Amino acid sequence: MLLFLDVDGTLLPFGADRPYPLYEAPATASAGSAEHPLLARIDPALGPRLAALGCALVWATTWMDDANAYVAPWLGLPPLPLVDWPDEDEPPGGLHWKTRPLVDWAAGRPFIWLDDEITGRDQAFTQAHHPGRALLHRVDHRLGLTERDFGVLEAWLG
Ligand SMILES: [Mg+2]
């Protein structure tokens, strides 16, 4: 099972009307993490929690190479494959610009996509164009991934 993982608004919460708790840099954090002060909003415990799902984790984020340089070490995860985005215009009809590339990348393999910007349009596109199972799960960007989200994933994975 593939698991496409967004960073901003999924691992790294933003937009709440109160200050966020800041986490200490874990021992695995890469040198230079201090140059990315927002990393401190990411709970390092999310790494083992995600790894325990038993899925093949794949970055699906605009962080690109910085996801492996900074976020993966922060989470105690190995470098992960990352989806490279085509240089295309915004798709019409409100479809998220990530949706088609992710469906293409999955190439029929079952997948989970965690992102704070998923809408019904993305669900409908995936149902129409992806033959395998897929769970598109929207995370609340103000909170990032929570235990409630993990409950949904674990129930779906069975
Ligand atoms: Mg996001």
Identify the weakest region by mean pLDDT among 28-37, 40-49, 101-110: 28-37
All domains of the chain in start order, with CATH:
2-157 (3.40.50)
Q: Which pLDDT band holds residue 92 (cuts at 50, 70, 90)? A: confident
Distance, CA of 66 to CA of 50 (rounded, Å): 19
Q: Ligand 1: distance of its center to the CA of 66 in Å?
A: 15
Q: Ligand 1: distance of its center to the CA of 10 in Å?
A: 6
In this structure, are residues 90 and 75 in contact, taking their beta carbons and an 8 Å threshold? no
Q: Which pLDDT band holds residue 34 (cuts at 50, 70, 90)? A: confident
Q: Ligand 1: distance of its center to the CA of 115 in Å?
A: 5
In this structure, are residues 102 and 111 in contact, taking their beta carbons and an 8 Å threshold? yes
**Structure pTM?**
0.96
Average pLDDT of 110-135? Answer: 98
Q: Which pLDDT band holds residue 150 (cuts at 50, 70, 90)? A: very high
In this structure, are residues 145 and 114 in contact, taking their beta carbons and an 8 Å threshold? yes
Q: Ligand 1: distance of its center to the CA of 146 in Å?
A: 15
Q: Which pLDDT band holds residue 4 (cuts at 50, 70, 90)? A: very high
Q: Ligand 1: distance of its center to the CA of 79 in Å?
A: 20
Does the pLDDT value for residue 50 go beyond 90? Answer: yes
Q: Ligand 1: distance of its center to the CA of 72 in Å?
A: 16
In this structure, are residues 150 and 49 in contact, taking their beta carbons and an 8 Å threshold? yes
Radius of gyration, alpha carbons of the chain: 15
Average pLDDT over the chain, rounded to whole? 96
